[in-house]
């Protein structure tokens, strides 16, 4: 998607995401190889497949999960604040050979393609560059469930002071990944920079994350 399309339609698209019925999110959003990630998905299709891609200079398919049974899950009234609390759909262990980076799980729904973003951290630091993916900002601008930090994107023009990460990111925009981070990370891979990845919350969870 072109960046200009994202910003031209950002505000008007927000209303479509307030009561997003079909989509998914990952818990946790940041994991290491050898750890498990869980997808929580609402999907009205009878059966569907998930395709997991590693984002880089080119999108690379790294995993398929087939023949999942669809389940349409409800959107809680205060899900934007307290989390959607959707039942787990599937979980798997991150393979030890997966590189640190951004991963996108894509799947079809009756309302179109939906995606789940998650980040794989390195098992041990290996690169001179640590790139923090701004998942806090993604959530701040994410109106799925009805509200975010900005009144102009929220129901009744009233923002929420608290937000949950446990809800889908808005389709096509993915919190801002397709507007900004995809361009930068693609360039990093094309130029063959060695980069480790993390998210904002990892800096709070691991005080020594920047230690040499």
DSSP strands (E only) in 28-154: 30-31, 36-42, 47-54, 60-69, 90-93, 101-109, 112-120, 129-133
Q: Which two tokens stand for residue 33?
A: 């190889």
**pLDDT for the residue 1:** 46
212, part of any domain: no
pLDDT value at residue 3: 47
- Whether 165 is covered by a domain: the verdict is yes
C-alpha 145/C-alpha 57 separation (Å) is: 33
CATH number reported for the structural domain that contains residue 174 in this entry = 2.60.40.1930
Per residue in 79-129, pLDDT (tens digit) is 999 999 999 999 999 999 999 999 999 999 999 999 999 999 999 888 999
Q: Encode pLDDT of 146-155 as tens digits.
A: 999 999 889 9
Residue 211 within any structural domain of the chain = no
Number of domains the chain contains: 1
Q: Is 189 helix (H, G, I), strand (E, B) or coil?
A: helix
Residue 108 in domain? yes
Q: Please report whether residue 174 resides in a domain.
A: yes
**13 phi-psi bin (left φ>0, alpha ψ -120 to 50, beta other):** alpha
User: Cis omega (within 30 of 0) on the bond before 28?
Assistant: yes
Say whether pLDDT at 8 is over 70: no
Range of the domain at 195: 3-205
Do the beta carbons of residue 67 and residue 47 sit within 8 Å?
yes
Q: Is the Cα dihedral 195, 198, 199, 203 positive or negative?
A: negative
In a domain, 24, yes or no: yes
pLDDT digits (tens, 9 = 90+) for 182-199: 999 999 999 999 999 999
Residue 15 lies inside a defined structural domain of this protein: yes
The whole-number average pLDDT for the span 29-47 is 98
Q: Taking the complete model, does pTM exceed 0.75, yes or no?
A: yes
- In angstroms, the CA 41 to CA 46 distance is 13
Q: Is 210 part of a structural domain of the chain?
A: no
Among the residues of 57-96, which ranges form H helices? 79-82
Report pLDDT digits (tens) over 120-178. Answer: 999 988 899 999 999 999 999 999 999 999 998 899 999 999 999 999 999 988 988 99
Report the DSSP pairing between strands 90-93 and 129-133: unpaired
């Amino acid at each position: 998607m072109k960046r200009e399309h994202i910003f031209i339609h950002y505000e008007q698209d927000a209303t479509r995401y307030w009561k997003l019925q079909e989509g998914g999110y990952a818990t946790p959003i940041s994991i290491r190889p050898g750890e498990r990630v869980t997808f929580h998905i609402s999907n009205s299709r009878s059966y569907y497949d998930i395709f997991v891609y590693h984002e880089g200079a080119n999108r690379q398919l790294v995993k398929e999960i087939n023949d999942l049974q669809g389940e349409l899950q409800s959107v809680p009234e205060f899900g934007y604040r307290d989390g959607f609390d959707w039942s787990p759909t599937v979980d798997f262990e991150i393979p030890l050979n997966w590189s640190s980076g951004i991963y996108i799980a894509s799947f079809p729904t009756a309302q179109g393609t939906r995606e789940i973003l998650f980040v794989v951290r390195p098992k041990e630091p290996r690169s001179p560059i640590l790139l923090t993916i701004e998942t806090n900002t993604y959530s701040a601008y994410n109106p799925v469930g009805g509200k975010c930090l900005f009144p102009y994107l929220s129901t009744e023009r009233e923002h929420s002071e608290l937000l949950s990460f446990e809800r889908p990111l808005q389709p096509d925009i993915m919190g801002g990944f397709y507007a900004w981070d995809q361009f930068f990370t693609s360039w990093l891979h094309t130029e063959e920079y060695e980069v480790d990845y993390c998210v904002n919350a990892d800096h709070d969870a691991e005080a020594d994350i920047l230690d040499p």
